[in-house]
Structure 1
Amino acid sequence: MSDNTIQLAVLDMAGTTVADGGLVLRAFDAAATAAGIDAEGPERERARKYVLDTMGQSKITVFRALLSDEDRAQEANLAFEAAYEALIDEVDITPIPGAAEAITKLRDAGVKVALTTGFSRGTQDRLLHALDWKDIADLTLAPSDAGRGRPYPDMVLTALLRLQADAVHRVAVLGDTTSDITTGLAAGARIVAGTLTGAHDDAQLRAAGATHVVPSVVEFADLVLAEHT
């Protein structure tokens, strides 16, 4: 086996492997209202822009930055999680086309797969249940499982340790946000790819330092397997 073989693929969920129909912004609006941010006006618009710019980050980290008050941030985070979980029941949560097949293709080739999220463990579990993805990956991680969420490297490095990859240059990361790219680079992954199925566009992903930008997780699997020799 080559020293360059990719042993581990760390994949984001919402926007990367899962299409959730824009539930993040809908849940954020409910959380912002619970935190006392006016429903209309410049404060709400600034908050929405910040959420879009930091999409992919751990939600409690986002609320801490927005509100500068730990109690309000915790209240907003709980409201966000409750709203998102309620909306899961109202919206048809579906995989990104070809995502399940791409994950299976990677695992069949001997590449271990970890699914990560900026949501809580409870919300991640609800998503996995809605998709019937309980056993689709080797590992699933929320920020609470690793210490810190994105943009920190903790989830990628936790996946490496738990799934026993030999080194960071044996890891490939895929996400749809600049936060995913920052995380992968901070972790030292060899492939840190952006996908165009979610929040951020080609220019944003490349400006963040993506080593590759792919149309979807399907092409990412092909990219990883091309180096899996």
Structure 2
Amino acid sequence: MRTLLFDIDGTLLLTNQGGAGAFEQALTEEFSLPEPSINVSFAGRTDRSLLAQLLTINDLPETAENVRRLQQRYVSVFPNVLRQRGGTVLPGVRDLLAKLHDEPRVRICVMTGNLQQTGEHKLAHFDLLPYVQWISGGEFDSHRDDLARRTATIIQDRHGTQSLHNVIVIGDTTADVRCGHAIGARVLAVCTGGDNHADLQTESPMAILPDLSNVDQVCDLLLT
């Protein structure tokens, strides 16, 4: 059986910068910062790396306790921020997941830089969570390649060593492509998020699509 590892933000959905808004609110509430800086790049990052950088640029020590406090507050405020910001499921995603969910040759999973809790909340908010078997989140790894390697261990533990030879990553950034290659997976890239076609092409994914709206074409790529 093939394991499909979908990214979330920019691949399946958009949250109108809900993550950035939640981090800003969390810094304000937890560390009494009236105007915290969130001037960092989010695309392709793990939340573990963002937690560390956000503390640093706001002149807060990057201690384990501060990371824990910021993460806990971020998870707490995120649901309300997401409700306020709204967002959208990207073209074709709902139909694609529904079709793949009925396909016995694949398992739908998620590998995301989000914390597992906030990733689950995003998927649940947009009614996508029922399609997903499990989520590997970005709370432990500062680098996306390390996230991919940890996810490969999850695949091996859950589904057996042979499953590692039948994995496809679906993502929207060059970091998604690189981390897929780091575990020997093929990668389907989409131009709906962090990077454009030219940038994605430099990392040599198996295919690049403008979006996931052509469900039959996407299924052909993911099932062959």
TM-score by length of 2: 0.76
- For 2:102, the equivalent position in structure 1 comes to 108
**Uncovered stretches (5+) of structure 2, i.e. residues with no partner:** none
Which of 81, 88, 93 is the equivalent residue of 2:82? 88
Identity %: 20
Question: 1:94 offset after TM fit, Å?
Answer: 3.2
Distance of 2:202 and 2:24 partners within structure 1: 28
Contact 1:174 1:195 in 2 (8 A): yes
Contact 2:17 2:85 in 1 (8 A): no
In structure 2, what residue type is equivalent to 1:177? Answer: T
Which of 51, 64, 74 is the equivalent residue of 2:41? 51
Decide whether aligned partners of structure 1 residues 91 and 39 sit closer, same or farther in structure 2, where only a CA change above 3 A counts. Answer: closer
Which of 143, 163, 181 is the equivalent residue of 2:138? 143
Decide whether aligned partners of structure 1 residues 18 and 207 sit closer, same or farther in structure 2, where only a CA change above 3 A counts. Answer: same
In structure 1, what residue type is equivalent to 2:119? Answer: Q
Distance of 2:215 and 2:145 partners within structure 1: 21
Describe the superposition over 1:34-89 as per-residue Cα deviations: whole angstroms up to 9, x where unpaired: 5687848xxx4xx52x323xx23221222224526124433333343334322122
Q: What is the RMSD of the two structures over their aligned residues, measured on CA atoms?
A: 3.1
Distance of 2:212 and 2:94 partners within structure 1: 9
TM-score by length of 1: 0.75
Instruction: Tell whether 2:141 aligns with 1:132.
Output: no
Three-state SS of the structure 2 residue aligned to 1:151 is helix
Contact 1:120 1:142 in 2 (8 A): yes
Decide whether aligned partners of structure 1 residues 23 and 72 sit closer, same or farther in structure 2, where only a CA change above 3 A counts. Answer: same
The more displaced of 194-203 and 71-80 is 71-80
Distance of 2:22 and 2:216 partners within structure 1: 31
Contact 1:103 1:221 in 2 (8 A): no
Three-state SS of the structure 1 residue aligned to 2:130 is coil
Structure 1 residues 1-229: aligned runs within 5 Å: 7-31=2-26, 33=28, 39=35, 44=37, 48=39, 50-52=40-42, 55-66=43-54, 67=56, 69-70=62-63, 71-109=65-103, 110-143=105-138, 148=141, 150-152=144-146, 153=148, 154-159=150-155, 161-164=157-160, 166-189=162-185, 191-219=186-214, 222-223=217-218, 225-226=220-221, 228-229=223-224
Contact 2:12 2:90 in 1 (8 A): yes
Decide whether aligned partners of structure 1 residues 172 and 165 sit closer, same or farther in structure 2, where only a CA change above 3 A counts. Answer: farther
